[in-house]
Amino acid sequence: PGRPDVGTGALDFKPIPPNTLDTFVVPNGYDHAVVIRWGDPVLPGAPEFDLHGQSAAAQSKQFGYNNDFVAALPLDRQGRRGLLVVNHEYTNEDLMFPGYTTPDAMTVEQLRVAMAAHGMSVVEIERVGGTGQWRPVERGRRPYNRRVTAHTTKFELTGPAAGSAWLRTAADPRGRVVVGTLNNCAGGVTPWGTVLSGEENFNQYFVGGDAAPAELKPRLARYGINTTARYPGGSRKWERADERFDLAKHPNEAHRFGWIVEIDPYDPDSRPRKHTAMGRFKHEGANVHVARDGHVVAYMGDDERFDYLYKFVSDKKFMKGNSWIARRHNLTLLESGTLYVAQFDQTSADEIDGSGKLPSDGAFDGRGRWIKLVRGNRSYVDGMTADEVLVFTRLAADKVGATKMDRPEEVEVSPATGKVYVALTNNSSRGTGSNPKPDEMNPRTANRHGQIAELVEDRGDNTAETFTWSLPIVCGDPADPSTYYAGYDKSKVSPISCPDNLMFDATGNLWISTDGNALGSNDGLFATAIEGPEKGHLKQFLTVPVGAETCGPFVTDDNRSLFVAVQHPGELTGATVENPASTWPDGDYAKPGVVVTWRLDGGPIGS
Ligand code: FEO
Ligand code: CA
Ligand code: CA
Ligand code: CA
């Protein structure tokens, strides 16, 4: 509200065509530069990167692998210094270690390199001249620079399930302190200046599920942990370096991952936290919005085929201002609240046939409700305690009839309108065999390209328990009749496939990045107006090199600098360090890295 033109367009950049180039492509009138890449120094004393002599000690001081979430937070009022906060989701050993063959052939030191390449980085950055370009600060004290890893950083569990029996281990008999974070995918910046990060596919780090206690097996299996094989295929074999990854010995260790993590980049000595009140699943990320009445609301996707969309509403209210008291208060907001899961109805009486054909009422839309799962120590799910609902949230959501979704990735709230946008990336299993059938929210069989959903909470109140919804974009080749671009002339839009991350710019336009483009071109970043007559006029803004997904997107408050993460460049079957599928960014072998894009004339990004 406020400004009538919010989110209505003025995106006048010339869209770039789909391509398969092994470069980073931006529109005419823009420039870009790598800000930081895998192996660059982060902490004092970080040695120069040495591909052939990498050590865990070096990696733990250097920028990690597979950057996903990106934020650039202000450090001064003039916009000259900032903090780059980045997730490192996972590692591609075949692209990291020369001569790599199998996890079993890795040295224990190499396994520890991989652990150190996971986690997060905080890097002090400075603006280059008066432009929109940024680079790491390389001289003087950099007190905020920090590495968080999978095997060295301690996290505090908060909230109702902290200390529960499910979370206790031999190393942590109180169930309150976890070593490390795993598979940190997307995230969000909170209104109080901290960063949230989602622990996503943590299952792949554990072995020995076959020897876990019988009563735990179905709970482990619901999170994708193999409970029949000793060493499941694809296992990273981290138990060779740290036995806590062997569930035969430490069956509760897996429950200590799959949380939303909160880190305060402005307090480098602070212990990051894992918030049990926000539930445990394959968290893509979390984005916080302050509701009209001051409660904070976090929307969260569980990125798995046929998993769910969630919402958390805090018990306490957001305190405005930068005072020490306000900040200290706001840091507790995600420790207590109510956790809901979404159920979607449809408004048309038609059977949804899976072809993507619009139903007879002319739109994929409907009503929906947030089903309450747990608040504090009170469970709303029959037969489950509050601790169980929080630690095994997927099982709770199964019981209450939540809607099985096409892989909910990032969820973002328009700061201008409070409307909620969900990237549903794809679902190759929708409607196949005995799998759940298409419905109005997930309307295509064997959905290859995904869709974007819009939720409007009743009364415009983000704490509401009911809402209306629609699908503004059903992705894919615009010439494919199963696609929909908000009714806009499809001959004028850029094709998009597999939406993953979402972002709003300062004028309220929606930006969408992709992972896994099933149209055969490289992944990229797109923008569209999301209100008014230009809604659905989607235009491609950039593409990333071969094999990479486009992550992050983050635009600075002044709308002058756009950051994206280039994750897993060159990740193609059979590619190695010696035989790379991508040589981005330095022309030798592939390195994930963060890129900043700016307008040559200094104007706002996109318009
Ligand atoms: Fe890590 Fe759901 O993407
Ligand atoms: Ca993602
Ligand atoms: Ca985002
Ligand atoms: Ca993804």
Is a pLDDT exceeding 90 seen at residue 5? no
Nearest-atom number in ligand 1 for the CA of 425 is 2
- Band of residue 348 on the pLDDT scale cut at 50, 70, 90: confident
Strands 420-424 and 451-457: antiparallel
Q: Which two tokens stand for residue 125?
A: 């950055």
Q: What would the mean pLDDT of 204-211 be, rounded to a whole number?
A: 98
Asked if 606 and 594 touch (Cβ cutoff 8 Å), the reply is no
Helix (H, G, I), strand (E, B) or coil at 226: coil
41: Cβ contacts below 8 Å, ≥ 6 apart: 47, 48, 61, 62, 63, 136, 138
Q: Which ligand is nearest to the CA of 66?
A: 1
Quickly list DSSP for 105-164.
Answer: GS-HHHHHHHHHHSEEEEEEEEE-TTSS-EEE--SS--TT-EEE-SSS-EEEEESTTTT-
**Distance of CA 376 to CAs 278, 304, 337, 521, Å?**
11, 26, 6, 47
410 CA to middle of ligand 4, Å? 9
Task: Tell me, in angstroms, the distance from the centre of ligand 3 to residue 410's CA.
Answer: 7
CA distance 395 to 66: 30
ipTM for the assembly: 0.87
Q: Residue 8 — very low, low, confident or very high, per pLDDT cuts 50/70/90? A: low
Percent of the chain with pLDDT over 90: 95
**Closest ligand, as measured to the CA of 411:** 3
Q: Report the share of the chain in percent with pLDDT over 70.
A: 99
Give the pLDDT of residue 4.
Answer: 43
Ligand 1 centroid to residue 303 C-alpha, Å: 6
Q: Whose CA is nearest to atom 1 of ligand 1?
A: 185
Judging by DSSP bridges, how do beta strands 154-158 and 177-179 pair with one another?
antiparallel
- Judge whether 549 lies within some domain: no
Residue 288 CA: which ligand is closest?
Answer: 3
Which residues crowd ion ligand 3, with CB under 5 Å? 503
Mind listing the pLDDT tens digit for each residue in 502-529? 999 988 999 999 999 999 999 999 999 9
Quote the Cα angle for 408-414-415, to 5°: 135
Specify the pairing of strand 593-599 against strand 539-543. unpaired
Please check whether residue 84 lies inside any domain of the structure. yes
Q: Any idea which residue has 């022309």 for tokens?
A: 587
Give the pLDDT of residue 234. 86
What type of residue sits at position 150?
A: A
- The pLDDT assigned to 322 comes to 87
Predicted pLDDT of residue 266: 97
DSSP 366: E
Cis amide linkage into residue 136, ω under 30° from 0: no
Categorize the per-residue pLDDT at 180 as very low, low, confident or very high, splitting at 50, 70 and 90.
very high
Q: How far apart are CA 507 and CA 416, in angstroms?
A: 8
Model confidence band, residue 7 (pLDDT cutoffs 50, 70, 90): low
Please report the pLDDT score of residue 35 as a whole number: 98
Do 496 and 507 meet the contact criterion of CB atoms below 8 Å apart?
A: no
Residue whose tokens read 């890129």: 595
User: Looking at residues 205-209, what average pLDDT do you find?
Assistant: 98
Range of the domain at 404: 30-200+258-541
Q: Is residue 165 part of a domain?
A: yes
Q: Is residue 380 one of the residues assigned to a domain? A: yes
For ligand 4, the distance from its centroid to the CA atom of residue 290, given in whole angstroms, is 26
Residue 301 Cα: closest atom of ligand 1: 2
Residue 373's SS3 state is: strand
Of 123, 126, 105, 134, the C-alpha closest to 31 is 134
Q: What is the pLDDT of residues 226-280, one digit of tens each?
A: 999 999 988 999 999 999 999 999 999 999 999 999 999 999 999 999 999 999 9
> Which residues line ion ligand 2, judged by CB < 5 Å?
185, 409, 500
Ligand 1 contacts (CB < 6 A) are 89, 185, 200, 284, 303, 409, 500
pLDDT tens readout for residues 466-489: 999 999 999 999 999 999 999 999
Please check the confidence at residue 377 and state whether its pLDDT lies above 70.
yes
Q: For residues 350 and 506, give the distance between their C-alpha atoms in angstroms, rounded to a whole number.
A: 39
Which of the ligands is closest to the CA of residue 502? Answer: 3
Q: How far is CA 586 from the centre of its chain?
A: 26
Looking at residue 284, its pLDDT comes to: 98
Summarize pLDDT for 317-336 with one digit per residue, the tens.
999 998 999 999 999 999 99
Counting from 1 in the atom list of ligand 1, the atom nearest the Cα of 284 is 2
The runs of H, that is alpha helices, within 210-323 are 217-221
Atom of ligand 1 nearest to the CA of 515: 3
- Could you tell me which residues come within 8 angstroms of residue 517 by beta carbon, excluding any fewer than 6 positions away? 497, 498, 523, 524
Residue 602 lies in a domain: no
Interval between CA 200 and ligand 2 midpoint (Å) = 9
Distance linking the first and last C-alpha atoms of the chain: 20
Instruction: Report the atom number in ligand 1 closest to the C-alpha of 282.
Output: 2
Give 515 Cα–ligand 4 centroid separation in angstroms. 5
C-alpha of residue 530 to centroid of ligand 4, in Å: 23
Query: Residue ranges of the alpha helices (H) in 1-97?
Result: 56-59, 93-96
Cα 189 to ligand 3 centre (Å): 9
Q: What is the rounded distance in angstroms from the CA atom of residue 7 to the CA atom of residue 528?
A: 8
Q: How far is the CA of 70 from the centre of ligand 3 (A)?
A: 9
* pLDDT tens-digit series, residues 103-124: 999 999 999 999 999 999 999 9
Q: Does residue 239 fall inside a structural domain?
A: no
- From the number of C-beta atoms within 10 Å of its C-beta (0-12, 13-18, 19+), residue 87 rates as buried
State the closest ligand 1 atom to the C-alpha of 185, by its place in the atom list counted from 1.
1
CA distance 603 to 607: 8
The overall average pLDDT reported for the chain is 96
What's the total number of domains in the chain? 1
Q: Residue 213 falls within a domain, yes or no?
A: no
Within a domain: 496: yes
Task: Give the length of the chain.
Answer: 607
The ligand whose atoms approach the alpha carbon of 186 most closely is 2
Q: Which atom of ligand 1 is nearest to the CA of 407?
A: 2
HEC per residue, 156-204: EEECCCCCCHHHCCCCCCCCCEEECCCCEEEEEECCCCCEEEEECCHHH
